[in-house]
Structure 1
Amino acid sequence: MRSDSATDNRLPTRWLALWLAALVALTPFSIDTYLPAIPAIAEALGSEVARVQHSLSSFLLGFAAGQLMGGPLSDRWGRRTVGTIGLIIFVFSTLLILWSKSVEQLIALRFSQALGGGFATVICTAIVRDLYSGREAARTLSTITTMMLLAPLVAPVIGSVLMVIGDWRWIFTFLLCYALAMLVLVRKLLPETLSPTTQARHRSAPKRHLLRNYAQVLRNRRALGFLGTQSFVSGSMFIYITTAPFVFMENFGVAAERFPLFFGAGILGLIVMMQLNIRLLKFFEPRQILLAGVGLQLLGCCLLLLNTLTGEPSLLRWMLPLLIVVACIGLTGPNAAACYLEFFPGISGSANALYGTSLFITGGILGGLVNGLHTGTLVPIAASMCACAVTALVLVLLVARAREPIEAGQPVHDSPRSR
């Protein structure tokens, strides 16, 4: 436990993970709830499914931009203030989405909505880093992520139910209500963990220090290795999320009401791996578990590509390796974040912003790229996932050097000789 963070007694510590998980869940709710409605949205707006799927990519890019701006501002203004601003932007953007008349408006407003979401959720990992470090931080992040993963598990079900009783706008009405609830949570329940001394120091610093913080992160080669590793590991998942409506509902002919069952299977595997990760952290360092998770995901991606290239795969032959690919993020996500943040104890908000930004920019670009390479088959999807896994393995071994110990706050120009 870190002692230099401000806490407020209104919230018992045991509830902190629950509130942070609820806030982080805004993102998967915003993405996964409307996945079953994409074909219906395309029909209602007079567009194609592939075109509507670009609203997923625009959301990911908007979320990345929101984190990039919100992180350093949370170091300067405090976690709760930035979270409040983000939720207000999210609420107003969602209201405008309810009145959108074209797919172009939807794509633009999803970017704006995600911008606010990035502001709101970037504070969560920064709060954890304010309070914890090392294994304790990784365990806390695993606990938060496990609870948060209930959102992508139930989100498609909520979306399907809302489509049965109403139309696609009901889904965004749900998101509007959820964001309002999170606004109450941030203002009334969430503690401010950034100490007044730290806030005063950041406020008195010239604004150019915001850029200096990012420069400090970008100069740390090992930290960027951990960041890049998780960006490409998560890239496989974002490709899966972006293309899931095509894969299941168009390619395999899964009915919209059954879509949540197949989509949620990967999330269940992720939850199992997350629980395993919490237990493994009692015996292994985060960097060691991260390395194993990357290797396991590469195995799943290779099997997925092999099954795709050796004939038209059945739904079962596609799902089994896909479960491995998605579930492995439960081993990599918390540990990559914990390893990366160990290098930046004094600027966790800025560092976390760049971390989250990289994940979502990578996801947005890869999702858009795979949509652009759409051939009506599964080959581009499987090949792209495999390429992501290979890149992640190279980064974790050669740049992050995950087999070597990490010294918290070590110099940015770290090298084997300097240790």
Structure 2
Amino acid sequence: MQSSAKPNTPFALLILLLASLTAFGPLSIDMYLPAFPAIAENLNVPLSSVQMSLASFFIGLATGQIFYGPITDRFGRKKPLYVGLGIYALASLVCAFTKNVEMLILFRFLQALGSCAGVVISRAIVRDLFTHQETARVFSLLMLVMGVAPILAPFFGGYISEFFGWRAIFALMVIISTSCIVMLAIFLPETHQPDQRVHIKDSLKNYVQIIKDRHFMGYALAGGAAQAGLFAYITGSSFVFINLFEIPAKSFGWVFGSNAIGLIACSQINARLLKRLSYDVILEKIFVVLGVLGVILAMAGIFNWGFWGLAIPLFLFIAALGMTFPNATAGAMATQRKAAGSASALLGTLQYGIAALSSAAVSRLHDGTTLPMCAMIGFCGVLALALHRLLVKKAA
């Protein structure tokens, strides 16, 4: 380890803290998914309007990260974390009391601006502490711990919405974020001391230099396309499974959780494979799998193959992402030690920017069938394969 971390900080505790930061995104996304029909009914708006609050969250994640990069390189990792989580807590509180969908969409955007501090800075901290190959294994471990969020969040969200109302979900987010601020203040070491040489006004130049790095862009865009498939699924899943396949909202977590378990399992298989294989070898194979499964999912939507015809390839697609995310992230960050914060921010902006487009497309194309979700996932799988072949494999 190369860091200023306290030597008595246990590795397991460090991973748990980093995973908690990374989990704010999945927690904020997944917990309120089962409540979509209830929110639409309570605010008297179409379901597609509620789905736009999810798209606005993705837009916030994309735009916010670009600012946190140079800030965390300039001022260190912890102070920007406190600011971001504070914004998150306040926005969550407003969401809990909102009276119309427009306010929900706006403050979900602001909530995302706060949560993306954890997304950016956790990646930068990993890059501060570990070597290239080690980062892929650490990201796999983070996926294991943070994977609890997408498994448990829909369960809690479904039951909280049923027994206490959907607003209680956002009240819980306030409690979680404030508790996390306290834990970080006590246990998280500073891994990057403030650097007076970093000037915020030069951040655009830094981003331009990073964008010119074909190595970085290849991994970032291919990984982003794969991630967009995940968010197309997240956006459309509550309608598909609750409305079309008539699964009760409180039981939606079983479907969502099973797919998350597949993702976690593959991330741990990935961690073991990395002891013998490079992340490049694994990515070359797994992007082919995503492309094939994407075509199958598109066909399932076109020909209406029913619950199992959709659920099985969807499970395999989501599971395969457990081998995509950690390896693509490690590949993108491998050449960016000097500007790890800015590189992490740009990586997130690119990936969540693509995800926002995917989510908005599913909402915009909503037609009462499974096709918009399935077709978008299929497109993202094929696009991820094509980008990897063109930008990474050809450049090798």
State the TM-score, normalized to the length of structure 1. Answer: 0.92
Q: Which residue of 1 aligns with 2:143?
A: 145
- Rounded Cα–Cα distance in structure 1 between residues aligned with 2:301 and 2:163: 37
> Residue type matched to 1:167 in 2?
G
Measure, in 2, the Cα distance between the counterparts of 1:354 and 1:370. Answer: 24
Write the distance in 1 (CA, Å) between the matches of 2:269 and 2:10. Answer: 26
Matching residue's letter, 2:162? V
Superposition pairs of residues 1-20 of structure 1, within 5 angstroms: 1=1, 3=2, 5-9=3-7, 11-20=9-18
* C-alpha contact (below 8 Å) 2:72/2:341 kept by paired residues: yes
Q: Secondary structure at the match of 1:375?
A: coil
Whether the 8 Å contact between 1:26 and 1:117 is mirrored in structure 2 is: yes
Q: Secondary structure at the match of 2:393?
A: coil
Q: Distance in 2 between matches of 1:217 and 1:29?
A: 30
Could you tell me the percent identity over the aligned residues? 35
Whole-angstrom distance in 2 between the partners of 1:348 and 1:207: 15
Change (3 A) 1:402 1:160: farther
Alignment-mate amino acid for residue 276 of structure 2: F
1:261 partner amino acid? W
Q: Deviations over 1:118-168 (max 9, x none)?
A: 123311010000011221110011001111000000000001121232111
List gaps (5 residues or longer) in structure 1: 405-419
Distance 1:51 1:35 in 2: 13
Compute the displacement of 1:380 (Å).
2.5
Deviation at 1:351, TM superposition (A): 0.2
Query: CA shift at 1:287, angstroms?
Result: 1.2
Distance apart, 1:402 and its partner CA: 7.3
Query: Structure 1: how far apart are the matches of 2:9 and 2:93?
Result: 31
CA contact (8 A) 1:67 1:354 kept: yes
Question: What is the Cα deviation at residue 106 of structure 1?
Answer: 0.2
How far apart in 1 are the matches of 2:11 and 2:380?
Answer: 38
Aligned residue in 1 for 2:259 = 266
Aligned with 2:234 (options 228, 241, 244): 241
Higher helix residue share: 2
Q: 1:97, 1:250 → 2: CA distance?
A: 24
> In the alignment, does 2:390 pair up with 1:398?
yes
1:90 corresponds to: 88
Report if aligned partners of 1:266, 1:326 keep a CA contact under 8 Å in 2: yes
1:306 matched residue in structure 2: 299
- Give 1:363 shift: 0.9
- The Cα of 1:401 is off from its aligned counterpart by 2.0
**Compared CA separation, residues 163 and 84, structure 1 to 2 (3 A):** same
Q: 1:62–1:114: 8 Å Cα contact kept in structure 2? A: yes
Long gaps (5+) in structure 2: none
Q: Aligned residue for 1:378?
A: 370
Indicate conservation of the 8 Å contact 1:291/1:402, yes or no: no
The corresponding residue for 1:324 is 316
Q: TM-score, normalised by structure 2?
A: 0.97
Question: 1:297 touches 1:328 (CA, 8 Å); kept in 2?
Answer: yes
Name the CA distance, whole Å, in 2 between partners of 1:126 and 1:219: 20
| Aligned-partner Cα distance in 1 for 2:271–2:63 | 31
Report what 2:97 is aligned to.
99
Q: In structure 1, what is the equivalent of residue 175 of structure 2?
A: 177
Whether the 8 Å CA contact 2:224–2:351 is kept in 1: the answer is yes
Q: C-alpha separation between the residues in 2 aligned to 1:394 and 1:63?
A: 25
Secondary structure at the aligned position of 1:47 is classed as coil
Partner of 1:415: none
- For 2:394 and 2:84, the matched residues in 1 are separated by 35
- CA displacement, residues 32-55 of structure 1 (integer Å, 9 cap, x when unaligned): 000011111111111111110100
Q: Are the counterparts in 2 of residues 85 and 120 from structure 1 also a CA contact under 8 Å?
A: no
User: Partner of 1:77 in structure 2?
Assistant: 75
Question: Counterpart amino acid of 1:106?
Answer: L
Amino acid at match of 1:339: G
Paired with 2:11 and 2:124, the residues of 1 have a C-alpha distance of 16
Q: How many angstroms does 1:14 deviate by?
A: 3.1
Q: Distance in 1 between the 2:387 and 2:295 partners?
A: 18
1:21 to 2, 19, 42: 19
- Alpha-carbon offset, residue 10 of structure 1: 5.5
Kept after mapping to 2: 8 A contact 1:74/1:82: yes
- Provide the aligned C-alpha RMSD in A: 1.4
Q: What one-letter code is carried by the residue in structure 2 that aligns with 1:101?
A: K
Answer with 101-110 or 356-365: which moved more: 356-365
1:58-137 alignment to 2 at 5 Å?
Answer: 58-137=56-135
- 8 Å CA contact retained: 2:74, 2:200: no
**Structure 1 residue corresponding to 2:248, chosen from 247, 250, 255:** 255
Aligned to 2:337: 345
Distance of 2:21 and 2:144 partners within structure 1: 13
Cα distance in 1, alignment partners of residues 316 and 96 from structure 2: 37
* CA offsets 1:236-288 (integer angstroms, 9 cap, x no match): 10000011111111111111121111111110110110111011101110111
Tell me by how many angstroms 1:295 deviates.
1.0
Name the counterpart of 2:290.
297
C-alpha separation between the residues in 1 aligned to 2:198 and 2:352? 29
Q: Deviations over 1:361-401 (max 9, x none)?
A: 11111110121112222222222212111111111111112
Whether contact under 8 Å (2:69, 2:345) holds in the other structure is: yes
Per the alignment, residue 360 of structure 2 pairs with 368
CA–CA separation in structure 2 for the residues paired with 1:119 and 1:14: 22
Between 163-172 and 123-132, the greater mean CA deviation after superposition: 163-172
Which among 38, 47, 50 is matched to residue 49 of structure 1?
Answer: 47
**Aligned equivalent of 2:199:** 206
Tell whether the 8 Å contact from 1:233 to 1:329 is kept in structure 2 after alignment.
Answer: yes
Question: In structure 1, what is the Cα distance between the partners aligned to 2:288 and 2:280?
Answer: 13
CA distance, structure 2, for counterparts of residue 380 and residue 283 of structure 1: 39
Q: Kindly provide the CA deviation profile for residues 206-249 of structure 1, in whole angstroms up to 9, marking residues without a partner as x.
A: 33321121111111122101100000001110000011111111
